[in-house]
Amino acid sequence: MIVDSILPSGVALKRFRSELVPVHGLSAGVRNRDELVTKFVKAVESGDTATLDTLLVSKAEYAFLYFPTSIYSRKPYELPPGIAWLLSEQNSQKGLTRVTRRLGGKKLNYGGYECSTTLTEGENRFWRTCLVDYVDPSSGQPVSKRLFGAIMEHAGRYKFLSYANDF
């Protein structure tokens, strides 16, 4: 029996990228964070999952723009890119499902947002722990909650890295 060892990170990234068309920027990314968050809120309010999909980093963007400079590409984490993508995609899908089930199709009376953490990795800048102010449709009470994961900026374009949230 032959047992494969763990692939070197460069080989794993090359294999992960092999099925993808290379990208050099965020496609359909918006020009600033405020526009991104506003589009997100409007899409949630209208139950527009097609728009929500366009606001999220794609697998190719993850492979070519995010992962190579990510903390997950090196020690002490050094995850294979396919595993890192799978974990991110699953958490994002779970978050999107939860936010659209709880808030989708309802008026949120959006009051703004605030991000508490900024981080730079290579050419990418991230805003993490962003809280969105809105009125909870079921209780009528003002709420400040994390409705999405990190915002990623690459070359002046913005997208969500994940839809993982507090739901």
**Residue 71 DSSP code:** G
Residue predicted with more confidence, 64 or 78: 64
pTM for the whole structure: 0.92
Residue predicted with more confidence, 79 or 65: 65
Contacts of 157 (CB under 8 A, 6+ apart): 25, 26, 29, 30, 31
* Mean pLDDT of all residues in 116-127: 95
Q: What is the pLDDT of residues 139-159, one digit of tens each?
A: 999 999 999 999 999 999 999
Task: Indicate the helix (H) or strand (E) that contains 114.
Answer: strand 112-121
Q: Which of 6-15, 59-68, 98-107 has the lowest mean pLDDT?
A: 6-15
Dist CA 100 CA 126 (whole Å): 24
Q: Is the pLDDT of residue 4 over 50?
A: no
Task: Note the pLDDT of residue 65.
Answer: 97
Mean of per-residue pLDDT scores for the chain: 93
Tokens 């992962």 -> residue = 67
* Mean pLDDT of all residues in 65-85: 90
Residue 39 phi, psi (nearest 5): -60, -40
* Mean pLDDT of all residues in 94-123: 96
Q: Is the pLDDT of residue 57 over 80?
A: yes
Q: Is the pLDDT of residue 2 over 60?
A: no
